[in-house]
Amino acid sequence: MWVFPCYPLTMLLFPVILSLLICFAARIAKSKSSDIKLALINFIVVYLLIVMSVYVYDFYLQYKVSTFDLNGDGVISNTESIPEYLEYSSRLTNDVGRNFAPITGFIFAFSCSVFFYLLLRLRKMGAHKS
């Protein structure tokens, strides 16, 4: 049985790579944006990416659970309840992480943005010393 992959390491590496892309895009564009402005853009993008990916995964699980309702009455009967339905239903109802995604997403996006801001400052400090 194939289940939608949601690997935590992949979900966390993507915002970090996106942060680096924002930095390189600003450098290529030679924009005069301040470091704090780039860090704020980074925060917003990473936060929205985390929260939206959680909602997409939640909609996916709701869709998969609803596909097992063969007669369309909104209730899963004993004839419709199969092990695959139980797996998706369990994933849908027993995941507290999706409920706390706005909070944990804020914390992760904030820490990622602080790290991003510090890297930008170090880069500028290194450029002034050269």
- What is the torsional sign of CA 93, 96, 101, 102? positive
Q: What is the mean pLDDT of each run of 10 residues along the chain (130 residues)?
A: 51 71 69 79 86 84 77 62 74 78 89 86 73
- Count of CB atoms situated within 10 Å of the CB of 61: 21
- Determine the pLDDT at residue 110: 92
Domain ranges of the chain: 13-125
**CA distances to 36, 41, 120 from 130, in Å:** 23, 28, 16
pTM of the model: 0.71
- Determine the pLDDT at residue 108: 86
Q: Shortest CA distance to 43 belongs to which of 101, 98, 108? A: 108
- Determine the pLDDT at residue 78: 62
- Determine the pLDDT at residue 107: 92
- Determine the pLDDT at residue 75: 59
- Determine the pLDDT at residue 2: 44
Q: Shortest CA distance to 110 belongs to which of 26, 14, 39, 13? A: 39
